[in-house]
Amino acid sequence: MTILDLAQLLRVPHVDSSLRFDISPDGQRIVFSWNKTGKWELWQMSLQGKTFATTQLPHTSAGEQSPAELEIASSENHLLAMTAGIEGAKFSPIHSPDGSRLLYAVDPDGSESHHIYVYDFETNTHTDLTPRIAYAHQPNFSWSPDGKMLAVISDIHGQFALHLLPTDGSPGRLLKNVFRPAWDAKWSPDGQWIALEAESTGSDRSIYVIPINRPRKGVRVHAVQLQVNGQLLNAQQPAWSPDSKSLAFSAENGEWHDIGIFDVETSEITWVNESVGDDMQPAWSRSGEIVGWVHAEGAVTSFQFKKRGDAIQQIQVGAGVHYWPQFAAEDVVILYEDTSHPCDLWKMNLDDGSVEQLTNSLPDELKQAEFVQPEEVWYAGKDGIQIPALLYRAKDSKRAVINIHGGPNWMFQFNWVPIMSHMASRGWTVLAPNYRGSTGYGKKWQNASRFDLGGVDNDDCAAGVNYLIENGLADKDKIGISGRSHGGYLTMTCLTGYPDLFAVGSAVVPFLNWIKSQKTSRENLQHWNIENMGDPEDNHQLWMERSPYFYLDKINAPVQLTCGANDSRCPASEAIDAHDKLVELGKDVELLLYKGEGHVFMNVENVIDSEVKRVEFLAKVLEKQA
């Protein structure tokens, strides 16, 4: 098998799937975030076979633009790079109700302290509504129906809460603080309600339906928190029907997440479906007659939809992962990726099930490349419980890497992951565990690591070593471990807790010290820590025991630490402190610090440099001849 060039794979762009794209109210235009140029810009394209002027807009200052013409074309459509002159990564576009303006988020330096911008299509101007701020916004927001106000999530008072921000540039005001970190806000089309999603207990979410713009006279209407039979729902991703009478959402219904409908008038909740697997990211057709969503079972997802009175139907682009469906006329636009294709926009025909690719991120020279296709496997954990994982089985492999996902409430699916594809083509088997605490395998599985982080999840990852050896996939002295974010943390807990199992390790944007993390994190992250590890004073011993920083003397293997200087989730100081201590202990350690980067690296050159160096560091040990 030909080794896939890692730098080439990492240079392949993809459409952002972590946040939404948007379709204009008239159904003519789609706007999305894409790193086609190596930076995260907003792009627009026609959905009706027409082309827009391809103009790149250099930024001068807030509210001012100096237009310059630049042709930017792809093989299938003319595209508009709308924001190329504005510093920072741009995400989460949403059109105003009349389609004349565009709201979007800008992360200037990777710190996730998002600014909120408005672009005017007619005047060709961008305005920063939040200039010179010393606080953060979530990249989730919505317009009031008249376009004069925005519902935004800000931590200006310490906690992420719901604020109203005028679009004329005047100061905003606090509307609702539920005293738990808020995440998203959706204004109803009739202007009478805002659906607020906020964190709840553990990793749960809750939805509040908040009245707004109500007359002073008459019956007073109060905010409602979604519940069934007196029990609060673990609910997320609110989506209003076009007539504002119903709110769709994804919520825990037994062991799995299903799609529910909240009736605004009666406060009753009905379930659109009840199935094995998680249903999420609901969307309404423009007529309100159809509800669609993403259905997930294990490593594969699909788009499902239900017309009023009809049975549930399903469409797939392929055996990969779908995200964020949106309706355009009678079609659905959706994001899709798999292990051989980066994330792109696709259009689905609901009548005949046909699909059409709208963006094309994969270069021609890679379309015939051979990618190792992962298998879904299960292996025995330390306590005998079966652990789900993806296995990239390299031919005649005697070297392996256990690659650990972050979150921890996330999962490995059949995604486009260049580094794992490269490792497998290089002759390394890759085992990617969906350890206890991961999503996708039911609520009990996701909650299994609560108050036990760095414990059962750590053991699940370490148990993968036995699976690799017993199945002849690796020699016992040729197994490395790596991961990012919570996966970087588990890399370090494995290296300190099971020092004889691993020959080498690389932790990307890790945290290592629960106690320090609690003191230096934003309030929303402190809330998550307490909800999932208990009170830091009452559980001080546990917080110490699960902090690998205090056990670095146990590490036997060479270790690499990679961090971003502006990381607000896992601050670079965590990796720097660990590096300095490991040096003091005489350990083999390497530190990579990237200025101008946060938790997720945005500059493609830094992405390439860090990932290539990660593989090189592992290869020094795994490919070393005896």
* Run means of pLDDT, 10 residues per run, the chain, 626 residues: 95 97 95 94 82 35 32 40 81 97 96 95 94 92 98 95 96 95 97 97 96 74 91 97 98 97 96 95 97 97 94 97 94 97 97 95 96 98 98 94 97 98 98 97 96 98 98 97 98 98 98 93 90 96 98 98 96 97 98 97 97 98 88
User: DSSP letters of 312-325?
Assistant: -EEE-SSSSEEEEE
pLDDT of residue 417: 98
Q: What per-residue string of b and e applies to 399-419 under the rule 16 or more CB within 10 Å gives b?
A: bbbbbbbbbbbbbbbbbbbbb
**Residues 109, 598: contact at Cβ < 8 Å?**
yes
pLDDT of residue 522: 85
Pick the CATH number of 375-622 from 3.40.600.10, 3.40.50.300, 3.40.50.1950, 3.40.50.1820: 3.40.50.1820
pLDDT of residue 437: 97
User: DSSP letters of 603-621?
Assistant: SHHHHHHHHHHHHHHHHHH
Please state, in angstroms and as integers, the Cα–Cα distance from residue 567 to each residue in 137, 204, 446, following that order.
Answer: 15, 24, 26
Tell me whether strands 313-315 and 300-307 are parallel, antiparallel or unpaired: antiparallel
Please state, in angstroms and as integers, the Cα–Cα distance from residue 569 to each residue in 524, 531, 594, 598, following that order.
Answer: 10, 16, 15, 8
Q: What per-residue string of b and e applies to 98-136 under the rule 16 or more CB within 10 Å gives b?
A: ebebbbbbbbebbbbbbbbbbbebeeebbbbbbeeeeeb
pLDDT of residue 53: 34
Cα–Cα distance measured from residue 323 to residue 302, given in angstroms and rounded to the nearest whole number: 9
pLDDT of residue 308: 87
- Regarding pTM above 0.85, the answer is yes
Amino acid at 323: Y
pLDDT of residue 67: 27
Please state, in angstroms and as integers, the Cα–Cα distance from residue 50 to each residue in 95, 284, 358, 523, following that order.
Answer: 19, 25, 13, 47
Cα 14 to chain centroid distance, Å, stands at: 14
Cα–Cα distance measured from residue 213 to residue 192, given in angstroms and rounded to the nearest whole number: 6
Identify which of 480, 357, 366 has the alpha carbon closest to the alpha carbon of residue 421.
366
Cα–Cα distance measured from residue 327 to residue 310, given in angstroms and rounded to the nearest whole number: 18
Amino acid at 229: N
The residue whose two tokens read 């792109």 is 344
Q: Which residues have a Cβ under 8 Å from the Cβ of 592 and sit 6 or more positions away?
A: 560, 561, 562, 563, 610, 613
The residue whose two tokens read 């576009």 is 93
Q: What per-residue string of b and e applies to 502-539 under the rule 16 or more CB within 10 Å gives b?
A: bbbbbbbbbbbbbebbeeebbebbbbbbebbbeebeeb
Please state, in angstroms and as integers, the Cα–Cα distance from residue 495 to each residue in 388, 400, 544, following that order.
Answer: 21, 16, 16
